[in-house]
């Protein structure tokens, strides 16, 4: 039996909406700047660990100006449990200085300026644009990339192609929420390791295999 992409997409949206009608932002923050820093810290680190470290960091500096004045060495010492601390501390210091000097101490609200900040790639910019400013975006990391391939939604060899495929398949009005629903579902039902087909509702129906198009 051949299952159409439209049918599959509708079914996946309904499953995710039923399981996760509310999608709280996993990274604790109080404004666009603290969200931006938290997303930078989340690279190759769990949200849980980031949320343990950011209160300590933001007690020392919670604005671009304060962070720009904090010694890089002190930032590195605080964020060490998040991993990649030498690179991340330099990026956080650098982006803070650039925000102060070039953007009047305000996080820019466009992709071009965000992606020109140190340590900020397209995925990080997409998260900030969607979660801080409500701009329609579909941030794709390696986990969402994996889910999209498993479910036959994309044949993308990289996250850029997968993002284009997902944006084409799903309505723009649902992008921001779906990004978080994908993340929540992946963690609970469709992990990279220890995946159990009988537990994963979507994979048990739509795992990539012959017959899907």
Look up the CATH number of the domain holding residue 12.
1.10.1670.10
Single out the residue of 6, 26, 3 nearest to residue 188, CA to CA.
26
What's the first-to-final CA gap in the chain, in angstroms? 10
Residue 69 in tokens: 């004045």
What pLDDT does 153 receive? 93
For residue 154, the enclosing domain spans: 5-23+138-206
Residues of the chain predicted below pLDDT 50: 210-213
* Residue in 155, 127, 159 with CA at minimum distance from that of residue 143: 159
pLDDT score of 20 = 97
Within a domain: 187:
yes
| Same-domain status, 85 and 62 | yes
Residues 38 and 124 in one domain: yes
Sign of CA dihedral 142, 190, 32, 135: positive
Domain end (from 83, 110, 131): 131
Whether residue 190 is contained in a domain is answered as yes
Residues marked as catalytic: 123, 141
User: Residues 55, 121: one domain?
Assistant: yes
Residue 157 has a pLDDT of 86
Please say which residue of 75, 100, 131 terminates a domain: 131
3-state class percentages of the chain: helix first, strand second, coil last, to nearest 5: 60, 0, 35
Helix and strand totals (H; E) in the chain: 12, 0
Looking at the structure, do residues 105 and 154 belong to the same domain, yes or no? no
213 assigned to some structural domain: no
The predicted pLDDT at position 205 comes to: 84
The whole-model pTM stands at 0.91
- Tell me, yes or no, whether 79 and 117 share the same domain: yes
Q: Is residue 211, in this structure, part of any structural domain at all?
A: no
Q: Give me 92's structure tokens.
A: 């956080």
pLDDT digits (tens, 9 = 90+) for 46-55: 999 999 999 9
Classify residue 81 by its DSSP letter.
G
Q: How many domains does the chain have?
A: 2
Q: Which of 131, 154, 184 is the last residue of a domain?
A: 131
Would residue 80 count as lying in a domain?
yes
């Amino acid at each position: 039996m051949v299952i159409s992409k439209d049918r599959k997409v509708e079914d996946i949206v309904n499953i995710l909406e039923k399981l996760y009608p509310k999608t709280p932002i996993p990274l604790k923050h109080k404004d666009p700047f603290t969200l931006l820093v938290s997303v930078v810290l989340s690279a190759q680190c769990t949200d849980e660990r980031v949320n343990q470290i950011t209160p300590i960091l933001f007690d020392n500096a919670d604005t671009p100006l304060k962070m720009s004045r904090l010694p890089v060495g002190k930032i590195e010492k605080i964020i060490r449990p998040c991993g990649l601390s030498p690179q991340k501390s330099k990026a956080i210091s650098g982006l803070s200085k650039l925000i102060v000097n070039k953007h009047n101490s305000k996080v820019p609200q466009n992709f071009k300026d965000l992606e020109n900040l140190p340590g900020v790639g397209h995925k990080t910019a997409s998260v900030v644009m969607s979660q801080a400013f409500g701009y329609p975006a579909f941030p794709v990391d390696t986990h969402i990339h994996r889910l999209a391939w498993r479910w036959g939604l994309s044949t993308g060899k990289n996250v850029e192609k997968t993002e284009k495929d997902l944006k084409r398949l799903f309505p723009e009005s649902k992008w921001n929420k779906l990004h978080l629903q994908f993340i929540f579902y992946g963690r609970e039902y469709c992990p990279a390791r220890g995946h159990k087909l009988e537990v994963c509702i979507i994979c048990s129906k739509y795992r990539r295999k012959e017959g899907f198009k």
